[in-house]
Structure 1
Amino acid sequence: MSENDEARAELNRLRASIDNIDAALIYMLAERFRCTKQVGTLKAEHRMPPSDPARELDQVARLQRLARDADLDPAFAEKWFNFVVAEVIHHHERAAGNGTADAERG
């Protein structure tokens, strides 16, 4: 096997791992949104605000610690969290405005 063939085989192996990780992330995000859908419904039913800034700050700090432990950029972890939370809050606001029938789709 040539050096180029070995490099190609390694590239394919790494890409297969990346594809598996991406699939796992999608399924984990879907599960996360199923949980936040329940939170949105509960908040709408009890007229609670769609966001919880204190919890969000705690979560950012926790995720930054986890990111450091995992050798991931804590700023990236915060950006990811803020992106996800913005979508969750949008769903919660929609649930609160339209009742629980239009709670988060997940």
Structure 2
Amino acid sequence: MEEVDVSVRAELERLRDSIDNIDAAVVHMLAERFKCTQQVGELKAVHRLPPADPGRESRQIERLRRLAESAKLDPAFAEKLLTFIIAEVIRHHESISGEDGVEHRE
């Protein structure tokens, strides 16, 4: 294997440090998002609202696709990511409301 120039290694390390910091921020932002959606799920359960809201989900996907385009991010990737997150949120909401078939106690 060829030896890599020290300046290239330094730049690679700098970039990887930035990636690690961004990954940490993404995880923390997702945690905050799920705290909010947990509260939404609890509110829906108390008021016997359905766990899923297809109209809002569609609007959010379109909104995220537009944001992705303006950020020069593949809109299809952004949609896949949000669809995955929405599915997890709905799963949580179903669990909160008891619609997952498991008995839940307060």
When the two structures are superposed, what TM-score results if normalisation uses the length of structure 1?
A: 0.90
Alpha-carbon separation, structure 2, partners of 1:11 and 1:70:
24
Residue identity over aligned pairs, in percent, reads 62
Aligned counterpart, 1:68: 69
Paired amino acid for 2:47:
H
Runs of 4+ in 1 over 2 A off after TM superposition: 98-101
Aligned counterpart, 1:104: none
Could you say what secondary structure the match of 1:27 adopts?
helix
Q: CA deviation at 1:100?
A: 7.6
Task: Structure 1: state its 5+ residue gaps.
Answer: 102-106
Alpha-carbon separation, structure 2, partners of 1:53 and 1:99:
25
Could you say what secondary structure the match of 1:50 adopts?
coil
Task: Structure 2: state its 5+ residue gaps.
Answer: none
Aligned residue pairs, count: 100
Aligned counterpart, 1:79: 80
When the two structures are superposed, what TM-score results if normalisation uses the length of structure 2?
A: 0.90
Taking only aligned residues, the RMSD between alpha carbons, in angstroms, comes to 1.6
1:68-93 CA distance string (max 9 Å, x none): 00000000000000000000000000
**Structure having the larger proportion of residues in helix:** 1
Paired amino acid for 1:28:
M
Q: CA deviation at 1:5?
A: 0.3
Q: CA deviation at 1:99?
A: 5.3
